[in-house]
């Protein structure tokens, strides 16, 4: 058995759970075992990462392929509220209006 931590941060509070899992446990399985998907309905099927490294299946293994290591911190990423490019355009428009 190994110990891993699963974290999910909201704007004002961070939720964290330490789990004892089998050495063959994947990131997707650790997320399921954390119970966060059941506690936070808005999550759906979120992006996951290990220490700020996105598990995307392209530049890194997918969550169902990544085998957790002892001491890993699995991060559950919140869905974006707005596309970053659109947010930047909105900020620029507000800045122009102030001038």
Tens-place pLDDT, residues 13-52:
999 999 999 999 999 999 999 999 889 888 888 999 999 8
CB 8 within 8 A of CB 76: yes
Sign of CA dihedral 68, 34, 8, 81: positive
Report the CATH superfamily, name and number, of domain 2-98: RnfH-like (3.10.20.280)
pLDDT of residue 99: 64
| Mean per-residue pLDDT, 59-87 | 89
CB 38 within 8 A of CB 54: no
pLDDT of residue 91 exceeding 80: yes
pTM, to two decimals: 0.78
Q: What mean pLDDT, rounded, does the chain reach?
A: 90
* Residue 68 pLDDT class (50, 70, 90 cuts): very high
């Amino acid at each position: 058995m190994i110990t891993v931590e699963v974290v999910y941060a909201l704007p004002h509070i961070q939720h964290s759970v330490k789990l004892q899992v089998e050495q063959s446990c994947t990131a997707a399985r650790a997320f399921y075992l954390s119970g966060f998907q059941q506690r936070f309905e808005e999550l759906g099927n979120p992006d996951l990462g290990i220490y700020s490294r996105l598990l995307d299946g392209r530049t890194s293994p997918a969550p169902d392929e990544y085998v957790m290591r002892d001491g890993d911190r699995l991060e559950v990423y919140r869905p974006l509220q707005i596309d970053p490019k659109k947010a930047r355009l909105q900020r620029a428009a507000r800045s122009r209006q102030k001038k």
